[in-house]
Structure 1
Amino acid sequence: VILCYADDQTQRSRGLARAGMTEDKWTAILASQMPMSEKRARSDAVIETQHGMELARQQLVAILGQLRAGPVENSRERSGPNATGVAET
């Protein structure tokens, strides 16, 4: 599982910029979702998207390279921020 992550402020501004999105809808969407901390803990890799597309692309290329190199261990069996070992910013 690869999680695309943005900090709360970035996620909120992107969400509220969508056509038809309101504060109430945004709050309801967040309330219905698993907490981000749990999503991160369940992920095998994390792509940080709040720093721009180029950095996100670089992170994706690194993750794909590691996947092509061989089997990926489950993140819950490893220590550290994600199973691929890709540095998170």
Structure 2
Amino acid sequence: MIRIGLTGSIGMGKSTVARMFADHGIPGHDADATVHKLYSGRAAPMIEDAFPGTTRDGKVDRTLLSPNVLGKPEAMKKLEVIVHPLVREEEQAFLEVAKQDRRRAVLLDIPLLFETGGGVRVDVCVVVSAPKDVQRQRVLERPGMSEERFEAICSKQMPDSEKRARAHFVIETGYSLDMTRRSVASVVRAIAGMG
């Protein structure tokens, strides 16, 4: 089973590209969606213990958590120690199911793939990329996003140029959806040839 690592900086179009891979029959595991689920479930009490006052109704409230961790490396590390092992457990469970289903390939959508050394967990790295102005526009259109928050998130991420240099494949998302779809199809064909 080929494990495809999908990554790219914030606002580059990972979710859209992941859906396109799914259209080709390649199931995906989304680390961000998993974190979201964990914040509403088993991670919530652990995060409340570490950062009192950051949950509401038994769920982590990101607007309360953000000021506690953004721009604070020690606090961020404390949060990651709680969340990352839980995400890895969920990822493992996903891989087990895919193996039982005899999938030829799976997609692991990991936002900080290179930053966290996750490249060793995948066979192929696919980077989703768009021009900086397109990225900025997409991110600033998100609810609750500010220029300051966008810059803080970007400062934590490896520069796009470096991600592109480390990738086996780069999928450009700054143009039409049709062009992106064609890029995904050609990457799927290339990966199928590796199997």
TM-score band by shorter chain is 0.7 to 0.9
Rg bigger for which structure?
2
The one-letter code of the counterpart of 2:139 is: G
Q: Distance in 2 between matches of 1:70 and 1:16?
A: 38
> Does 1:65 find its partner at 2:192?
no
Distance 2:156 2:186 in 1: 32
Alpha-carbon deviation of 1:16?
0.3
Aligned to 1:13: 137
Is 1:34 paired with 2:120?
Answer: no
Q: For the aligned residues, what is the CA RMSD?
A: 0.9
Runs of 4+ in 1 over 2 A off after TM superposition: none
Q: Which has more helix, going by share of residues?
A: 2
5+ unaligned residues in a row in structure 2: which ranges? 1-124
Q: Tell me how far apart the structure 1 counterparts of residues 136 and 176 of structure 2 sit (CA, whole Å).
A: 16
- The amino acid across from 1:39 in the alignment is K
Among all aligned residue pairs of Structure 1 and Structure 2, give the percentage whose two residues are the same amino acid.
35
Q: CA offset at residue 69 of structure 1?
A: 1.3
Structure having the higher strand fraction is 2
* Residue number in structure 1 paired with 2:58: none
